A and B are shown apart, each in its own frame.
Chain A
Amino acid sequence: MAASVVDATIAELVVAAQGGNHAAFTTLYARFHRAVHAVALARVGAADAADVVQDVFARAWTRLDSVREPAAFAGWLMTMARHRAIDRARARGGGDAPEREVAVAPAPTAEAAAALRAIRALPEAYRETLLMRLVEGLSGPEIAERTGLTPESVRVNLHRGMKLLRERLDPQAATGGTP
């Protein structure tokens, strides 16, 4: 284990949290909550997404001992987040439709809401990655660490997703610009 939880690797934090270390789990939350929020926001509105984040981490805390391989924590957490967000979306009566309500205070502008709708209409891999980048402010390498994906996959998802998003937000500019 590193000298402090701040310097610890994710695997070290997971092992410590499995042993009941609250500080380690809080550090895991600090590193992952935005990625989990992005996964939820891809499927439900902002108010529900915030609930999903807390729900996911409460469940993660109680079920952490089921993570056999600490290095697999990121993928395990993201899978749980997807399932919980889908459950929440279904509870709202919308099946697994990607477009959910948006509700935060202050309310987003019409332009922001339109951009969010366009992102939610993208394929899932692009949708989540772009939300992590554009909403949560994570860089490509940070997204790779948070999701367990390879940096190459994240880079491809970001660029292909962004290309699609540009086309949908401004079809004329996209056809006239560089691909």
Chain B
Amino acid sequence: MSGDYLWDRSGEDPEVARLEGLLGGLAHDAPLAPLPPRRDRRRALIVGASVVVIAAAAVIAVLATRGSRPASPDGCGASGAGFAFTSRGGQARCGGVATAGGVLPVGVALETPPDVTADVTIADIGALTLAGGSELTLAATGADQHRLRLAHGRLSARVTAPPRLFVVDTPAATAIDLGCAYDLAVLPDGRTQLTVTSGVVELAAGARVAHVTRGHTVTTVAGRGPGTPVAVDATPAFAALVARWDAGDPTALPPLVAAAGAGDTLTLWNLLANGAAADRPAILARLDELFPRPEWLLADELVAGKPEAIAGLRDVLTSGVWLAPDATPAPPSTDANPGVWR
């Protein structure tokens, strides 16, 4: 045999060619995602030096004029580092000061009265709308992460960014964006509710993580973290069974598993991932009836809770959510789904 096919494809090597054909479908061919803002260190140094000079001048000016007039209370001016926002229906309060718009700096809270909403730009990766009666604080913003805290109220976010770049903390959990649009609410009783309208979001609290795809909603359970995601168009009876299970009623599982349909596979996957080992065989059996599991995902490994098998099944079940991220209609606000806000 002449040439070296393995090295430069000269000559022949049937075994290498066969492996190429076998594995070539896994090759990466996705385009470059939108890039985050660039940190320019030289500019940062110049800006930093300028800030020091300006701050020193400001201190001198304040000292020189102390007592002659009150200091400005407005910490959310029209320029500076932070997230730009505009209120609708009236004035919001930024840093405790009423305003129709400006820039929300790090560490400052934006509050909306009941009849006022605010549109907030999330750096250059997306936007959110803060509902009336809400309080949102910008905890951090940078190339590595944009992080907000929703103390109470609701927000609706749409983000185009690499996974895990956009994070929102609530009193009960943390919503981690994996490329998506979602509604997030802190309910009056302190629970957190997440409803995903596009892509995938993780809702985490402690070691417990709910993987929520578009068209699904999840609510935290007091003292236990995220509950089990359920389709927004699930029947009230099915949603009630999930709620019973999340509340700690073990008798809810058999009828829940039996009632699950083709639209409930993500619910079953979350039960498989977060449930007890003894419950996994029945959950997997129902999943197998509803979804053609690839043969390389071994039942033994799934029943044993092997992390890579569980994650592999999740990725297969959810791979379609990336194909048409806007195909799912907005979830309705119904009695069965009272926390959904549009």
Contact = CB atoms under 8 A, between A and B. Distances in A.
Contacts of B26: 41, 46, 102, 104, 108, 112, 116, 135
20 contacts: A22-B35, A33-B30, A37-B28, A49-B28, A57-B32, A58-B36, A62-B38, A62-B39, A62-B143, A101-B308, A102-B26, A102-B296, A103-B319, A107-B294, A107-B296, A108-B296, A112-B22, A115-B22, A155-B7, A159-B7
A94 B306 CA distance: 9
Contacts of A34: 27-28
A45 B316 CA distance: 11
Interface in B294-323: 294-296, 307-309, 311-312, 314-316, 319-320, 323
Contact of B308 (A92, A155, A159): A92
B289 interface: no
A79 to B, nearest CB: 18
Contact of A112 (B7, B25, B42): B25
Interface residues of B, number: 47
B27 A135 contact: yes
A114 B18 CA distance: 14
Contacts of B316: 103, 105, 107
A22 B165 CA distance: 20
B19 A134 contact: yes
B319 A105 contact: yes
B89 to A, nearest CB: 36
Interface string A88-103: 0000111001011111
Interface of A: 20, 22, 25-26, 29, 33-34, 36-37, 41, 45-51, 53-55, 57-59, 61-63, 65, 92-94, 97, 99-116, 133-137, 139-141, 155, 158-159, 162, 165-166
Contacts of B165: 58
A50 B312 contact: no
Contact of A133 (B6, B143, B295): B6
B71 interface: no
Contacts of A104: 25-26, 315, 319
B315 A47 contact: yes
A130 B223 CA distance: 48
B15 interface: yes
A55 B36 contact: no
B162 A101 contact: no
Contacts, number: 156
A173 to B, nearest CB: 9
A58 B33 contact: yes
A113 B296 contact: yes
Contacts of B40: 20, 65
A136 B36 contact: no
A92 B209 CA distance: 11
B208 interface: no
Given A58-B162, A62-B38, A155-B7, A101 B28 contact: no
Q: Which of A94, A103, A104 has the most CB of B within 10 A?
A: A103
B20 interface: yes
B9 interface: yes
A47 B30 contact: no
B23 interface: yes
B16 interface: yes
B24 interface: yes
B32 A26 contact: yes
